[in-house]
Amino acid sequence: MEKACKGWETLNADNFRDLNPGDRVLMGPGPSDVPARTLQAIAAPCIGHLDPYFLAIMNETQILLRALFQTDNELTIPVSGTGSAGMETCFVNLVEPGDEVAVCVNGVFGTRMADIVKRIGGKLIRIDAEWGTAVDPEAVRQAIKGKAPKVIAVVHAETSTGVCQPLDDLARISHDAGALFLVDAVTSLGGMPVPIDELKIDAVYSGTQKCISGPPGLSPVTFGPAAVKAMERRETPVVSWYLDLSMVRDYWGSERKYHHTAPINMIYGLREALRLIAEEGLSNRHARHRLNHRALVAGIEAMGLAMLVPEAIRLPMLNAVRIPQGVDDLTVRKALLKDYGIEIGGGLGQFAGKVWRIGLMGQSCRPKNVFLLLAALETVLSAQGYRSQPGALAAAAAVYDEAC
């Protein structure tokens, strides 16, 4: 008689239904809506990671990634893992135990960078700025005075607050100090310019599920010449075997040496997402993000709601809106999801229960979603007894009209 496998006598396959997540409008801090073409690409046959067809797909993906990053950096690859894996890749490859590393912290993701630096034995120089504000370059200059940080790291688009960090001064300060400049572009890439070669940003990581509108699971990373040199001059091995770029690059480079099995179908998906960006044009895509952001803000403010972040440092793709007095955060978000299929994000850390985070990322960044969100929010708020001022849709429409 066949030996029973533990637990399987009681397992009834009929209890597990076919997948059917239903329709959603993803307007939170990521993931964003994934276009049908990208989902279809993922469903293409899985082939070997050394199959000549797949190797050609890898090359094309790298060409498209360099175009998106606006860089000539040879070492430009999608790391197998989400944005946080890209973050970790940058730090573990550039930092050795005992190295001084300056990290700017004005939200969740700066905090995560600081955590990683400590875990890998770096000497953290932490520069804090109030959440909801940008980091003052002068504070960085002061913090590194008399020190020799190997890396200065900052988040370009702080998704937890909606703040856009200006990079020019920080790039200059880093290079004047002889440090590598490391930038988190998880949320900015694909939605606004990330001037990598222009500012000589040495290392950048991103993620696929924000303004690139792929599913989560890959983290595009690019290393410039100085970062590659720093990697090659290391005295100690990279603390992570999986994320060690000196080995990973031998697979993505001409040697095609096996390191780990590439997530084949995810790379199909990324390539398709990048092809869609190439068809749209990068500057058109950036302009689309700015326009829909302006229309959303016009509608939000017309309703009588307030934005968290001052206009000059607002991100286009992540809009933090203050929750009005007497309105319950979770009730509103639950109603948006249940009644309209709309997902928005809640606040994090000190902004929990205080703000909503409305994403306009990649495929989700469209006029119809702006109107849908404004109308739905108005209705849901009214059910909560909050009377918003009329005219939100007209205010948004006026922004689009003016742009025509």
Ligand X SMILES: *Cc1c(COP(=O)(O)O)cnc(C)c1O
Q: With binding defined as CB under 6 A, does residue 88 bind ligand X?
A: no
In the complex, the smallest distance separating the C-beta of residue 204 from ligand X, rounded to whole angstroms, is 12
Task: Closer to ligand X by CB, 299 or 316: give it.
Answer: 316
Distances (CA, A) of 301 to 132, 149, 339, 391: 18, 43, 23, 10
Q: With binding defined as CB under 6 A, does residue 345 bind ligand X?
A: no
List Cβ neighbours of 316 (8 Å cut-off, separation of 6 or more).
191, 192, 289, 290, 292, 293, 360
Task: Closer to ligand X by CB, 186 or 336: give it.
Answer: 186
Which span (125-133, 153-161, 275-283, 323-331) binds ligand X, by CB under 6 A? 153-161
Residue 346, helix vs strand vs coil: strand
In the complex, the smallest distance separating the C-beta of residue 165 from ligand X, rounded to whole angstroms, is 10
Q: Could you tell me how many residues of this chain bind ligand X (CB under 6 A)?
A: 14
Is the bond leading into 149 cis (omega within 30 degrees of zero)?
A: no
> Which of 187, 213, 222, 369 touches ligand X (CB under 6 A)?
187
Q: With binding defined as CB under 6 A, does residue 391 bind ligand X?
A: no
Burial track 234-265 (b if 16+ CB lie within 10 A, e otherwise): eeeebbeebbbbeebbebbeeeeeebeebbbb
> Which of 62, 76, 89, 159 touches ligand X (CB under 6 A)?
159
In the complex, the smallest distance separating the C-beta of residue 218 from ligand X, rounded to whole angstroms, is 9
> Which of 137, 162, 190, 207 touches ligand X (CB under 6 A)?
207
In the complex, the smallest distance separating the C-beta of residue 185 from ligand X, rounded to whole angstroms, is 8
Q: How far is CA 241 from the centre of its chain?
A: 24
Q: Which amino acid is at 258?
A: Y
Q: With binding defined as CB under 6 A, does residue 149 bind ligand X?
A: no
CA atoms of 222 and 228, how far apart (whole Å):
10
Q: How many helices (H) and strands (E) does the chain have?
A: 14, 14
Q: With binding defined as CB under 6 A, does residue 320 bind ligand X?
A: no
Q: With binding defined as CB under 6 A, does residue 186 bind ligand X?
A: yes
Which span (180-188, 227-235, 248-256, 304-312) binds ligand X, by CB under 6 A? 180-188
In the complex, the smallest distance separating the C-beta of residue 73 from ligand X, rounded to whole angstroms, is 20
Q: With binding defined as CB under 6 A, does residue 83 bind ligand X?
A: yes
| Sequence-distant contacts of 137-142: CB under 8 A, at least 24 apart | 137/166, 137/169, 137/170, 137/173, 140/102, 140/104, 140/170, 140/173, 141/173
| DSSP per-residue letters across 365-396 | -SHHHHHHHHHHHHHHHHHTT--PPS-HHHHH
User: Is the Cα dihedral 366, 367, 371, 372 positive or negative?
Assistant: negative
Q: With binding defined as CB under 6 A, does residue 155 bind ligand X?
A: yes
Q: With binding defined as CB under 6 A, does residue 166 bind ligand X?
A: no
> Which of 25, 26, 30, 77 touches ligand X (CB under 6 A)?
30
CA atoms of 396 and 404, how far apart (whole Å):
13
Structure tokens at 220: 């595009």
Q: Which amino acid is at 218?
A: L
One character per residue 107-126, x = contact with ligand X (rule: CB under 6 A): --x-----------------
Q: With binding defined as CB under 6 A, does residue 364 bind ligand X?
A: no
Q: With binding defined as CB under 6 A, does residue 263 bind ligand X?
A: no
Residues that bind ligand X (CB under 6 A): 30, 82-84, 87, 109, 155, 157, 159, 184, 186-187, 207, 216
